[in-house]
Amino acid sequence: MSSAIVSNLAKGFDLDDSVKRAKDYISGALSAMLDLGKGSGPMDHSFAIDNEYTK
């Protein structure tokens, strides 16, 4: 979460927007997790490669 926040700060977003964007990104990555056997699968960090998180 902290790296997602800092990435948004580096892009020029203010702290409030950076935290919101980071939460939205992490939530999206968690919801796109791969279903591999038992337990939780790995987060899909590339789920949003061509949307608002890359801008």
Residue 53 placed within a domain:
no
**What is the domain extent for residue 11?**
2-33+41-46
The mean pLDDT value for 30-47 works out to 67
Residue 52 placed within a domain:
no
Q: Which residue has the tokens 């968690």?
A: 30
Q: What pLDDT shows up at residue 28?
A: 81
Residue 53 confidence class, pLDDT cut points 50, 70, 90: low
Residue 5 confidence class, pLDDT cut points 50, 70, 90: very high
Residue 54 confidence class, pLDDT cut points 50, 70, 90: low
Q: What is the mean pLDDT of the chain?
A: 79
Residue 22 placed within a domain:
yes
Number of domains in the chain: 1
Residue 55 placed within a domain:
no
The mean pLDDT value for 28-48 works out to 68
